[in-house]
Structure 1
Amino acid sequence: MHRRLLAEFLGTGLLVAVVVGSGIAAERLSPDDVGLQLLQNSTATVLGLAVLILLFGPVSGAHFNPVVSVADWWLGRRSGGGLSGAELAAYVVAQGAGGIVGALLANVMFSVDAAMATTERTGTGLLAGEVVATAGLVLLIFALVRSGRAAVVAPAVGAYIGAAYWFTSSTSFANPAVTVGRMFTDTFAGIAPSSVLPFVGAQLVGGAVGVLLVLVLYPVPTPVRI
């Protein structure tokens, strides 16, 4: 278990470091072009996330996301697998701590002063974007796992998050641990503390929608390969 928790801590932390660090670099490289900044930020996130899943997946499953861990626990209750309640709690703590450390690490690497984020991310549209992004992420992961295609999770999840950066209004946080971590950097990727709770609430709703869709579309895990 200690290896799995370390993997979740490191994986979530490095994911946030990739998101925040590439956002800072994008701001500095393309200060007058927000679209180009987002392209640079999303490209780094796609590649970094896929690599991290490949690196830590064999150890912990590479959840890096409390919503994914909750979904794994819930779906596992029906099939006799997945995380136990105690394991779920430990995963969430490790992921949350990793997210915070990852943001602070990015600040240090780019010599950014420690400060809470001031970027307000509010509005019904952004919250709807988080519901959609998180529901799609949960559906994708468990659809692949339950249909015997877990080997392609890393590139598929990376591709989905990269696309969701652009097709959702919120730029697809889709992860409570990443959202909390991004509160600790007042940079391109930051989110103000006042915006965090609504975002996390929307992500939890999206996770529930994703789980329902999994149960409807893939009610029984099968080894089918397409």
Structure 2
Amino acid sequence: MILGLGNSKGGVGKSTIAANLVVELCDRGYPTALIDAEKNSPTARRLLKYDPTLVVKGASSLEEIDEAVEQLAQSGHHVVIDSPGRSGDELTALCLASDIVLIPMQTTEQDLLQTTDVLTLVRAFQRRMAGRPQAAIILNATRRRDIAARRFREGLLPLGVPVAKTQLRRLDDYRFSVSVMRDSELNRQGAADDIRTLVDELVMPHLNHQGVANEQ
């Protein structure tokens, strides 16, 4: 399975989501590597400091991403790609490399406008590539009983990309930790539980369907 994240600038950022997904999937027994396509690979460097046994690679161009994906898949790894994912070229690279793209967005007008452009490109690729990559929107930095989140969820439905039931709440634990998955103190408000629920909803169905890393 090749999973890409793009679009989000704030809230629970895509880099934070990517790092936590890698840790959680590895801890569940699914060898998973991070490809950091951001300049200077900041998430990869932080993740290695957190746990030097994790597998990470930096790759900035489409060719480098393709090469890294192939190497990691051959070594039996699932792959999470943390892409800048804001320009056309970056999103094109993400769509071409990924089996599934997760698109975090905050419930703001600015994020709604930006996400609409991202979804238009994703849907164009799906039409050309027999439904690939699959995609899902993650409502991000929400609050308990968030009325805006409910309104945004309803407004996004006509765009044709599923909106995850799981929402990532605005919690400080994400801001100050590269991963919240292994420290119960960082889960007092449920930050790790939210990530685990997200994995169960969006990631595990792909892993259970594929059986092994990158199986077609």
TM-score when scaled to structure 2? Answer: 0.28
> Greater share of strand residues, 1 or 2?
2
> Greater share of helix residues, 1 or 2?
1
Say which structure, 1 or 2, has more relative contact order (CA 8 Å, 6+ apart).
Answer: 1
TM-score when scaled to structure 1? Answer: 0.27
